[in-house]
Chains A and B, each alone.
Chain A
Amino acid sequence: AQSVTQLDSQVPVFEEAPVELRCNYSSSVSVYLFWYVQYPNQGLQLLLKYLSGSTLVESINGFEAEFNKSQTSFHLRKPSVHISDTAEYFCAVSVYSGGYQKVTFGTGTKLQVIP
C-alpha cells in the first residue's frame, strides 16, 4: 500500500521569503503526484500535478514541485511567498492497484505567511 508523509504540520514564513513544503511517499509501483491547497472554509483545489514527462511542474501562481524518484519526494517550493498564500497544503499520491486508481492524501501542512 502507498503512503504519504508531510513531516511539517505548520510552516511559518515571512512575506517575500522562500518556502519549501516537504512531501515524501512510499509505493512499490509507479505513482502520480498532486499538491492541493485549501483556503479557510473552502474545499481543496488542485495546485499542480505530476503525471508524466518533465519532473519539474509549475503552478500559475509561482509554486513548483519536483518529482524525485530516487528520494521518493515531491517537495513544493515558492521563491517568494505572499500573504495570500496562507493556506493548508496537501500532498497526494495516486497508484493503480486492484483495477483502479487509489488516492492517498497526506496530513497537510499549514503555511502561515507573516507580514
Chain B
Amino acid sequence: DARVTQTPRHKVTEMGQEVTMRCQPILGHNTVFWYRQTMMQGLELLAYFRNRAPLDDSGMPKDRFSAEMPDATLATLKIQPSEPRDSAVYFCASGFYLNERPDTQYFGPGTRLTVL
C-alpha cells in the first residue's frame, strides 16, 4: 500500500531556529504539493512541483520559506528563521497529473510544527 511519508511527525522549536520538513512522495507520482493547515486560515497551498520543477509557490512567504525537490523521492520545506505564527500542521501530497487532467492528491500524515 503506497503512501506519502513525512518526517518529522512533530517538531517543537524556538523562534529563530531553522526548521526542515521532509516528504517522500509515492513512487511514480510526478506532482508534489505542500500545504499548511491552521484553525484560522484553513488549508493553504504553499508550493506545487511538477517533475521536480516549481509550478506555483505564490502562497509561500518568500522571505523565510523555501521548497525544493532535490530528487524525485524527496521534497523539502524549510523555514528560516521560524516564527510563532508558523505554528501549524504542514501536509505534503503527491499525485500523477497530466496537464489536461488532474489526479487524486494523496496526502501524508502531516508535520505538526510548534514554534515557541
Residues of A within 8 A of B (CB): 32, 34, 36, 42-46, 49, 51, 90, 94, 96, 99-105, 107-108
B84-113 contact mask (Cβ, 8 Å, vs A): 1 or 0: 000000010100010111101111111000
Task: Decide: B110 and A100 in contact? CB cutoff 8 A.
Answer: no
For the complex of A and B, list the 4 residue pairs with the smallest distance between their C-beta atoms, beginning with the closest. A43-B107, A94-B102, A101-B102, A46-B104
Task: Decide: B104 and A108 in contact? CB cutoff 8 A.
Answer: no
Residues of B within 8 A of A (CB): 4, 33, 42-43, 45, 48, 50, 55-56, 91, 93, 97, 99-102, 104-110
Q: From A43, A49, A94, give the contact of B108 (CB < 8 A).
A: A43
The CA-CA distance from A46 to B95 in the complex, in Å, is 12
Task: Decide: B43 and A46 in contact? CB cutoff 8 A.
Answer: no
Given the complex, which residues of B lie within 8 Å of A36, measured CB to CB? Answer: 105, 107
Q: How far is the CB of A34 from chain B (nearest CB, A)?
A: 7
The CA-CA distance from A109 to B49 in the complex, in Å, is 28
Given the complex, which residues of A lie within 8 Å of B104, measured CB to CB? Answer: 34, 46, 49
Q: From B48, B99, B100, B110, give the contact of A43 (CB < 8 A).
A: B110
- Chain B: interface secondary structure? strand
- A43-B107, A46-B104 known; A101+B99 contact, CB < 8 A: yes
Q: How far is the CB of B21 from chain A (nearest CB, A)?
A: 14
- Chain A: interface secondary structure? strand
Task: Decide: B105 and A46 in contact? CB cutoff 8 A.
Answer: yes
- A32-B101, A32-B102 known; A100+B50 contact, CB < 8 A: yes
Q: How far is the CB of B36 from chain A (nearest CB, A)?
A: 12
Task: Decide: B91 and A103 in contact? CB cutoff 8 A.
Answer: no
- A43-B110, A44-B91, A46-B104 known; A90+B99 contact, CB < 8 A: no
Q: How far is the CB of A35 from chain B (nearest CB, A)?
A: 11
Task: Decide: B109 and A42 in contact? CB cutoff 8 A.
Answer: yes
The CA-CA distance from A90 to B107 in the complex, in Å, is 13
Between A and B, 8 residue pairs with Cβ closer than 8 Å are A43-B93, A43-B107, A44-B107, A45-B107, A100-B99, A102-B56, A105-B45, A108-B43
